[in-house]
Chains A and B, each alone.
Chain A
Amino acid sequence: SAVISQKPSRDICQRGTSLTIQCQVDSQVTMMFWYRQQPGQSLTLIATANQGSEATYESGFVIDKFPISRPNLTFSTLTVSNMSPEDSSIYLCSASTGFYGYTFGSGTRLTVV
């Protein structure tokens, strides 16, 4: 299955700033997904990112806060904008490689102070 390199692995950011998380896949994939995992919680889907089209956001997530880029079939970024302490979470990207194949990046542990 595909391998995803996600970076940064962790960061501590000041409130009001933005952080861009990058995910690089070692093969071409059609669908990529971004998840947020708040402390002690499960994974919640933020958006689905398909190459060549705008990302589709889940209820409660907006493009102004979490802009996503998908410039090609192997790369995607998620930006967490105007951060507040409530944005402190683990952010994970994933890629679908067929119905069975579903690979996660190693996650970005974000702390906003």
Chain B
Amino acid sequence: AQKITQTQPGMFVQEKEAVTLDCTYDTSDQSYGLFWYKQPSSGEMIFLIYQGSYDEQNATEGRYSLNFQKARKSANLVISASQLGDSAMYFCAMREPYNNNDMRFGAGTRLTVKP
């Protein structure tokens, strides 16, 4: 069963505006971690932000914030003040420490920032 769902194959945003990338997840574990990665055309995976299942505050890292709604099992990424360099694929992922502890990824969202 798909554990991570990203329903937006592609998104467009105007430069300097904010954008939200959606992610929902499915787990029966109480302990898990949620991650967002950026993958530019070069193929490398760039870590953006992390949210632990027990964290009460939404995670923030510079222009990135994670809108964590545990009851809804959603972990949306918000990018503020978009820049042209933000154009890339974005992947939501989850780790379950009591289930092999590997990283499971969503299908990804391709973000294009327009000048």
Contacts and interface: CB of A to CB of B under 8 A. Distances in A.
Interface of A: 31, 33, 37, 41-45, 48, 56, 90, 92, 94, 96, 99-100, 102, 104, 106-107, 109
B104 A92 contact: no
A45 B44 contact: no
A31 B95 CA distance: 13
B43 A99 contact: no
A71 to B, nearest CB: 21
A57 B13 CA distance: 39
Contacts of A96: 101-102
Contacts of A41: 107
Contact of B108 (A33, A42, A90): A42
B43 A45 contact: no
Interface in B76-115: 91, 95, 97, 100-108
Contact of A107 (B43, B95, B102): B43
Given A48-B102, A104-B44, A104-B45, A42 B95 contact: no
8 contacts: A42-B105, A43-B91, A43-B105, A44-B105, A45-B103, A96-B101, A104-B44, A106-B43
Contacts of B25: none
A52 B63 CA distance: 42
A11 to B, nearest CB: 13
B60 to A, nearest CB: 16
B43 A90 contact: yes
